[in-house]
């Protein structure tokens, strides 16, 4: 199973919006509405930010939103804040009790 494709980096100024893409295939992203996104600060464990494409766990700010079209999913962070600077990973269920991750995107808040 190949990894999902994410841009290695993204950036934005405080208050702006930034969108991170995550491209897969019809066997993973396109085949299931089970894309999730994780935030990881340096040296820390990942944190679930979005699940089932566009749902937010309790406690995650509504500045974070997710969407999907075909074989591509995206995470949008609106109203960027300094604490949003982190690595972001997408993952998708790929069937047969298999999961595939993206390579990660380093988000910089300029």
Nearer Cβ to another protein (4/80): 4
Instruction: Give the nearest distance from C-beta 16 to another protein in angstroms.
Output: 25
Strand pairing category for 99-101 and 47-50: unpaired
What is the smallest separation between the CB atom of 104 and another protein, expressed in angstroms? 4
C-beta closer to another protein: residue 16 or 41? 41
Residue among 45 and 82 whose Cβ is closer to another protein: 45
Task: Quote the CA–CA distance of 5 and 37 in Å, as a whole number.
Answer: 13
Largest CA distance in the chain: 41
From the centroid of its chain, how far is CA 55? Answer: 12
């Amino acid at each position: 199973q190949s990894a999902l494709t994410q841009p290695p980096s993204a950036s934005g100024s405080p208050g702006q919006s930034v969108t991170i893409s995550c491209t897969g295939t019809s066997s993973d992203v396109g085949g299931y509405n089970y894309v999730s996104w994780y935030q990881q600060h340096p040296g820390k464990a990942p944190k679930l930010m979005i699940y089932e494409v566009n749902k937010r766990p309790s406690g995650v700010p509504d500045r974070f939103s997710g969407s999907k079209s075909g074989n591509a999913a995206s995470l949008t962070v609106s109203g960027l804040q300094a604490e949003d600077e982190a690595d972001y990973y997408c993952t998708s269920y790929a069937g047969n009790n298999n999961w595939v991750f993206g390579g990660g995107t380093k988000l910089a808040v300029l």
